Structures are given as C-alpha cells and as structure tokens.
Structure 1
Amino acid sequence: MSKTKTKQRRREAKREHHKKLAKQSSSSSRPQKPTPTQQSKKNPAPKTKETPSEAPTATANPTATPKPHHHHHHHHQPSQQNHPIPFDTYDRILLLGDGDFSFTHSLAIAHGCASVTGTSFDSADEVREKYPTFPPIASDLAALTPPVPLHHSVDATKVSSYKHLARAEDGEAWDVVGFMFPHVGGKSTDVNRQVRANQALLVGFFRSVLQLPPENASGAAKQTQHAEKGKGKGDADGKKKRKRGGETKEFLRMGGKVVVTLFEGEPYTLWNIRDLARHCGLKVVESWRFDWAQYPGYGHVRTLGAIEGGGGWKGEEREARMFVFEKVEIEDSEDEGRRKKRKGKGKKGGKGSGSESEGDD
C-alpha cells in the first residue's frame, strides 16, 4: 500500500472520530425530560389540613398527666459572723495592763483606731526584761503619726488619779477603758485567796474608772458620799441626779464603755465579774466568746513574763470571754437594782433575769 492511501485512511478515521464527538456533545446540551421520581421531588403533593381527630396527640397516652417537676431546695446555713469589736475607729481608748502592748498595737495598726493609749503595770525596764516582743512593737507604735502614747507603772485601781491619764490626748473624757485579762499574778496555790485578790483588783479598777472612793475609804469620805446622796434625794423637784466625782471632770464619759476580757472556766468564773460591776454601779451590757483572730498580732503574755524556750501554756489556745459594761447615772443603776430585787421577790424560788445579752456561746 502506498503512503498516499495510508494518509487518506488516517484522515477519514479522524473525521469519523470528530463526528462522533460532535454528536455526543450535541446530545448532552439538550434538556432531558425528568423521570417520574424527579418530577415528584420537584412538585410535591399539596398538604391537606388535619382535622382535630387526625391531629397527633402530644403524648402516647392521652389520659396520662404530666409528672410534676420536683425542685430540690438547697438549704444553706448562714455563715456565723464574728461579733463586732467594741472599739470604734475614733473612740478615745485607754488600755490597762497591756503587758507587751501587743493589744495596743493590734487596735492601732490592724484596726486603725486613731486615738489609743496603752499602759502597763510594770516599769519600762521591767517590760523590756520580761517581754522580748516589746521593742519591735514599741518601734511600730512610735513610727505612727501621731505616735501612740505608751505609759508604764500604771496601777489600774488608781487609774483616774494619774494626771497624765485624766483625759484623752484631745482633752476629752475617755470613750472606752479596756483591761485585757486582769490578774494579780503570783504563784499562790490557794484558790480562795487568789479569787479574793482578783476580785479586789476588779472592784478597785471599776471604782477608779467611775471616780468613786475606794471601798476602804475613810469614814469622812463615806460620810461625804452619804451626805451627797441625801442632798440629791432632798431636791424639791426630785429630778436632779447626783453626778460621780462632784465637779471633777469626767474620766470616762457618761455612756462610755468598760471592756474586760477573762478566760473561761474556773477560777475565773468564781470572780463573778458581772456582780462586781453591778455592785460598783456599772450596767452589764453584754458578753461574748472572745475571738483571738479578730486582733491580728495580739498575743497573751504572762504576768510573770515570758518563759525561756517558749514553754508553758499559750493564752491564744484557751477559750475566753469579753465583757462590756456601761457607765450610767448612779440613780439609774440603783433604781435598776431595786426593780430587780422586787422582781426577784415576786417569783417564788426564782431569780430575777438580768438585762445582759450573752452573745454567741
């Protein structure tokens, strides 16, 4: 076969191939009729409205009632809040028997009390010798503006007789006088003797704060006191009330507070501090469990001083109670005592209930 014929056949084969491709492309470009299945998808049958009888029910069982939802109420017990401290920011506060002055430090720095004066029964040298915690405390208090006054060799039973403590720094009467854990000290094992000595300490403290003469006052002082009392009763209108200390400036303002903290349990409960305060003319306001954590930096110190090596019991680990008393007019206190006495007589075998709020036990 010649080369010319071979080329012609190849050209014809190409033409036939191109014709087939042209037919396939033309057939694919034409619109195809939809199949019955495709037609049903494009044009779905119109929906018919359901009659009430044909409507599906909400539940499988029409007579069944829906179950009520049970709400679980979680009862949260209210958090027990600490009792507010009896020292306000701007109170004129005088503290007695503050061994290393750590309570003074806590009120001034942790609580921001602006007018605090601290005192100790010991001299300055004795405080430094007994309590190694005192020097840094004194430095902190001296660095404040104004510095916190610290006084030594102050007897709580004669506190109102000291001229430099007769008034607060601004010349006004004190709002609060506090005595933290009063104790006469000593190593006596005679419980009765210790009780009597500490009762005498408390009574002397109360009477001095109220500017009353000591219980062992001379006969002349007692006669003067009775004469003033009789004069008050003899007033025509009967409304004039006898003031403590006569014309002397008040040491503790009327309505001011006396705060004392004691350990719980014997022998401290044998001191009967409430009765002693009432006997001196103070009103018992309330008492509550003392919370050491409310006074950061405060640590109880022994009257005899720190023990070498840190031995012995720690006051912070013991239960204690804080008592608050109020200075009131003498007549108010006496009238209250008479009312309680009459109330006690009216109850057979019963005791008159005091007005004190015990707080949280």
Structure 2
Amino acid sequence: MDGLESCMEMLSIDENKEEIWIKHYSSHQKILLVGDGDFSFAVCLAEAFGSATNVVATSLYSEEMTRLKYSGAASNLIELEERGCTVIHEVNARTMNRDPLLTQISFDRIVYNFPHAALKRSEANIRQIESHRRLVKAFFKSASDMLEENGEVHVTHKTTDPYSKWEIENLAEEAGLFLVEKVRFRKSDYPGYENKRGSGYRADERFPSGNCCTFKFGKTKMDYLQSRVQMLNINKKEVKWMKHYSSCQKILLVGEGDFSFAACLGKAFGSAVNMVATSLYSKETTKLKYSKSARNLIELKDLGCTIIYQVDVHNLRKHPLLNQRLFDRIVFNFPAAALKWSESNVRQIEKHQRLVKSFLRSCRDMLEKNGEVHVTHKTKEPYCRWEIEKLAEDVGLCLVEKDIVIKEDLVLELMRLSLLETAIPSNLPGLPDRKQSLIPQIIMLYLFYSELNAQAFPTHQDRHTHPNSCPSHKEILGIDDNNKEEKWLRHYSSCHKTLLVGEDDFSFAACLGKAFDSSVNMEATSL
C-alpha cells in the first residue's frame, strides 16, 4: 500500500450487487480482520462473497515473517490480492486506531478471532491471564474508535476454564462497548478457516477450539434485546412459545433462585438472548445456596442469557444495568421477603406486601407499551392475605388475567398485570366494546383445573402404554369430525362440549360459533 488514500480507495462496496452473507458477515459490510494469522479467515470470507474489496485483513507480523511462520500464508495472500482484499502487515491490535493506514477509516465489523498474548507461562497462570486481558482490553479501546455508528466488534473466544477467567464482557464494558449477542462458534461455518497457534515453534499448528463463542459488542448502550426481537420478527417461523412466554419477548426474570426457570425457558426457545435473569445474591452466594445453580448458570451462559447479580427488587428500576431498558414480560415467581416471623403473623405479611408493592412500582416504569408483569403466588391461607391484586392497583397496574393451576399438591396463581391506561385487547372478535362505559376496564379470566377430573384422564405415558383402552377426546365427546380440522379460539376448541351461562345478547356464543364455523358443540343459556 502506498498510503492512506490508496487504502481507502481499495476498500469499496458496490451496493448495486446482490448482498451475500456468510454467517454474521455480509459483502455490504466494511470488515476489519485483526490478527488473521495465515489469512485463512479472510480467504473464507472472500470466497463466500466472490470478492474481498470490502475487507481489510491485518497481521501483527511483517509479510516476510508471516510467510515463514505459516505454510498456507503465501497462497492465501495471492488469492486475497486477486480478490481485491486490502492486506496490511505489522498492525498491533493494541494501537491499531493510530495506524496511519487505518486512522481515517471506520468499519461495520471489526473481528478478532481467538486473541492471544505471547505465551510465557501456563494458560492457567494468573500473570498469563492478566497478559491476555491487557491485550484484549487495549484492542477493545482501539476498536471502539474505529466503528461506524451501528458497528460491532466480534471476538471469538473459548468459554471453558481458564479462558472464562479473561472475563471478556467486563473488559468490553470497561472500554465502552456493550454486549449485543453471544453465539456459539462453529468452525464448520467457515470453510477453509484454520485457527493457528501463532507463537512459538508450533505457530503453524492448529489448536482445538473446543467450546467457544463469538461475542458481539456494540459501541452504544443500545437495547440489544430489542435488536434481537426485531431480528426474530423478520422470520416468524423462528418464534417459539412456552406457555405465556415467547422467544420474541424481552423477558426480565426477578429473584431467580437457582435460575431453573430461566434455564427452562432457554431450553424451550433454543436460546436465551431475549432474557435477563436476576438474583438478589452475589454469584458466589448463589452457588453456595443452590446446588443446581452452577449447572444452570453454565447452560444459560451458553444460551446467551444476560445474568445480573445482587439486584434488589425494591430498587429494580434504579439498577444501572436495568434503568434504561423496557421489557415485554417481567416475571417474579413466588415473591417472599426474609422470614422473621411465622407466615401467618401480621407483621410478616406486611413485610411481604411491602416487597411486592415495591417490585410492582418498579415494574410500572420498566414495561413496554403492551407489556405485562407476571407474579406466581400461592392462593391458600395465609398467602391470600397479601392481596396482590390490590397492591397492583395501588401502583397503577390492573389485572389482565389470572390462571389457577395445580402443580403437585400446591394450588398456584399466576396473575398477569398491565398498566391501567393500557387498552386491554379482548382477542375475541365480535364482542361489544364495553370499555367506554367503565374506564379503566379490569378484565379477569379465571382458569380452573379440577384435581379430581385431572386424575380421570390418562397421562401421555398411559396413552402409549394402553392405546386400546384410551379413546380419543373426540370419541368421548361424541363428536364426528369427518376429518374436519379442530379449531381453537383462545382457551376454547370446536371439540369441546361447551356450556355458556348467563348469555345476555349471546354475542360470546356467536363469537365462538364464527370462529369454529359451527355451534353444534355448544349450549348457550340465558336467565
């Protein structure tokens, strides 16, 4: 390269050409590759794009040293030159923002795969870990000055011990970068890429990447949950549901104990990047208190969940990592203050109430427009005396729905609350709108499951064990569907025998009938 101008001229993007993607990278992005070893990652991108005019690939070493260290470097450099890649040698990741050939250029993506300081001690040695951390932190500081407005810094790194002790995310935050997403790295996604050791007499040898992730960081403190939701909404087929919760909702889990609920949702969604899970305790205390928390935390970290410790629900909205975020669902399962008296003691109940009311008050300012707060709580005495619905109303939240479910021997109550001024959609077309006559309208739907009746139905396992003894629910109902598709509207099915009681103008019955295209399964009554 003759100088800055020639470098800037070579880095070009023809937006009239079709955009081509390989994993996280596009032919329409200006990409800087740092510490690219034998340049095989650059070649991989160039071959995928059919060109490399949008890529700048750098090496710490001179061209001569690069060719001596890596057996494949010579052929890779020839191919990159033919495909129009800008190659710059002797670029130090710590000070690259001051490199004369890079100082005037900003990038959409800056990529550093497997950053590594020179190995002087074992990888587990504290001084060696600190050496690695200094390198990565200096790289982040340089990279943050070289990003476009919505650019990202990508670092691929091992997540197992001792590499996890580098604490990549903390280093990025110290440099003013914030996690956008964390995804598993699979070498097979990048054909031809060879991860080299890079130093010592085994510099040209590959090393096992093992469990590793690509960490994506942004320059601004954006709501990365929103960016993930927007991405998922592009392809609705990716959206996954578990009961009341979706992979496209921004979910905050409060007071997570051993983090088993977060792990449950993460497994169901196949990812946890849309979730923030919090605990009242420090990481160390959590692991001491809950035997299964360590395993759940490892799983959540791999799934991309944001985990925040020492979050007090009394001051939830004031937490520095939460005070600028809004959520679609805020979930607190079994809220409880520290137990000083018996559960039936008036002072203990009032203590619980203060906790819940503070939590609900915080939530009010953290909800998206149509967001909900979910509280799971026991309904029997003395827990019913907490009066959660009244506490919610006191802080400006109203009841949307209340589910009663039976889990083992406990009767649990899930309350769904939303802002009072938010219009509550009926989701039942054809029903008259009565909200104008009663503002704010509070709608309560109680779903009751009879423990006695539940025992009359075979379990999933029983159905497979005794197929001949278990008629289908349609046979039990006497409904001959003649291959008609079963249709659902909210909680009701065309294969249910449904009795509607006290049907004023019969609009609810008409609503169901229209949805099912038939009313033969219904009886509607009026006083």
The TM-score normalised by the length of structure 1 is 0.54
The answer to whether the 8 Å contact 2:37/2:66 transfers is yes
In our comparison, the structure showing a higher alpha carbon Rg is 1
| 1:183 counterpart residue number | 116
Structure 1 portions without partners, runs of 5+: 1-82, 212-250, 334-339
1:261·1:320 contact (CA, 8 Å) conserved in 2? yes
Contact persistence 1:254–1:329 (CA under 8 A) = no
Answer yes or no: is the 8 Å Cα contact 2:181–2:304 preserved in 1: no
**Helix, strand or coil: the match of 1:163?**
coil
1:253, distance to aligned residue in structure 2 (A): 1.1
Report the identity percentage. Answer: 30
CA contact (8 A) 2:28 2:54 kept: yes
Contact 2:158–2:209 (8 Å) recurs in 1: no
What corresponds to 2:135 in structure 1?
A: 201
Alignment-derived partner of residue 39 in structure 2:
101
Work out the CA distance in 2 between the residues paired with 1:114 and 1:139.
14
Alignment-derived partner of residue 161 in structure 1 = 98
- CA 1:207–1:84 in 2, change beyond 3 Å: closer, same or farther? same
Higher mean displacement: 177-186 or 113-122:
113-122
Q: Residues 252 and 360 of structure 1: is their aligned pair in 2 closer, same or farther, counting only changes over 3 Å? A: closer
CA offsets 1:96-147 (integer angstroms, 9 cap, x no match): 0011111111111134454011001111121111101101101111112xx2
Q: CA deviation at 1:358?
A: 5.2
**TM-score, L = length of structure 2:** 0.38
Answer whether contact 2:22 2:45 (CA < 8 A) is retained. Answer: no
Q: Would the aligned equivalents of 1:101 and 1:118 in 2 still touch at CA under 8 Å? A: yes
Aligned-partner Cα distance in 2 for 1:92–1:284: 20
1:263 to 158, 163, 185: 158
Q: Which residue of 1 aligns with 2:281?
A: 349
Instruction: Give the alignment of 1:232-311 within 5 angstroms.
Output: 251-304=146-199, 307=202
Question: Per the alignment, in what secondary structure is the counterpart of residue 157 of structure 1?
Answer: coil
**Match of 2:58?**
119
Deviations 1:70-101 (A, max 9, x none): xxxxxxxxxxxxx9722112100001001111
**3-state SS in 2 of match to 1:197:** helix
Point out where structure 2 has 5 or more consecutive residues left out of the alignment.
Answer: 1-20, 225-251, 256-275, 284-296, 306-527
Give the superposed CA RMSD.
3.4
The structure-2 alpha-carbon separation of the partners of 1:296 and 1:360, relative to structure 1 and needing over 3 Å to count, comes to farther
Q: Summarize deviations over 1:294-337 as a string: whole Å, max 9, x none.
A: 111100111216739x8x6x33563321110011169x99xxxx
Higher strand content, 1 or 2:
2
What is the SS of the residue equivalent to 1:204? helix
Q: Tell me the distance in 1 between the aligned counterparts of 2:91 and 2:140.
A: 15
CA distance in 2, matches of 1:114, 1:208: 23
Greater fraction helix = 1
State the distance in 1 between where 2:70 and 2:182 align.
29
Rounded Cα–Cα distance in structure 2 between residues aligned with 1:324 and 1:163: 26
What does the per-residue CA deviation read over 1:207-229, in whole Å, with 9 as the maximum and x for residues that have no partner?
11223xxxxxxxxxxxxxxxxxx
Question: Partner amino acid for 1:175?
Answer: D
Q: Which has the higher contact order (CA 8 A, sep 6+)?
A: 1
User: Which SS does the other structure have where 1:186 is aligned?
Assistant: coil
Per-residue CA distance 1:267-291 (angstroms, 9 max, x = gap): 2100000111112211101112111
Give the paired residue count.
Answer: 220
For residues 200 and 73 of structure 2, the distance between their equivalents in structure 1, rounded to whole angstroms, comes to 11
**2:136–2:171 CA contact under 8 A, matched in 1:** yes
Residue identity in the other structure for 1:183: H
Residue matched to 1:210: 144
Distance 1:99 1:92, change over 3 A: same
**CA shift in 2, pair 1:307/1:200, >3 Å:** closer
| 1:95 partner letter | L
Give the equivalent residue in structure 2 for 1:141.
80
The CA deviation at 1:198 is 0.7
Contact 2:31 2:107 (C-alpha < 8 Å) held by counterparts = yes
Which deviations, in whole Å up to 9, do the C-alpha atoms of 1:225-265 show, x marking residues without a partner?
xxxxxxxxxxxxxxxxxxxxxxxxxx211221000011231
Q: AA paired with 2:29?
A: D
Q: Is the 8 A contact 2:120 2:128 kept in 1?
A: no
Does the 8 Å contact 1:285/1:324 carry over to 2? Answer: yes
